[in-house]
Amino acid sequence: MLLRRLFVLLTLMFWQGGFMFYGGVVVPVGADILGSDREQGFITQRVTDYLNAAGAVALLVWGWDTAAGRGRRIRWAAWGLLVAMLGVQVGLHPRMDALLAADEGRVLDRPAFRRLHQGYLLASTVQWAAALGLLAATLRAWRAEDDPSRVKR
């Protein structure tokens, strides 16, 4: 049980912590140094592949914990929303990539890219909120598992 929880926390910290640090620190600093959001966007294009892979691993581990623990209904609902948002992100990524000429450092169709990017950002925001909700539900479930007075008879 302890090892399972440790894996949940480690993968969650890497995935969502990485997302928050990248969005809150790396993107603004990169844009400041590079002088443009556009150049930063080509770095983000590659980084999001790693974030999405980290999300897939974290969700597998979180699914394992949810299946083995308590409070499953709410946890599975939040987990399913996270999986759906990851699916949206993974689906949008190649469509956005097709609108970028990375070797030339330019966006081929800026309005189309902007619409897709807004969808990606919305999915990321929903995903982040669902991760917080699932974390709260997971901590509550762990507390119930650890408290013998909460055991169902």
* pLDDT tens readout for residues 90-122: 999 999 999 988 788 788 898 999 999 999 999
* pLDDT tens readout for residues 16-44: 999 999 999 998 898 888 876 667 778 88
The band of 81, judged by pLDDT with boundaries at 50, 70 and 90, is very high
- Return d(Cα 74, Cα 92) in angstroms, integer: 27
**What's the distance, CA 79 to chain centroid?**
11
Residue 2: its H or E element:
helix 2-12
By the 8 A CB rule, do 52 and 93 touch? Answer: yes
- The pTM of the full predicted model, rounded to 2 decimals, is 0.88
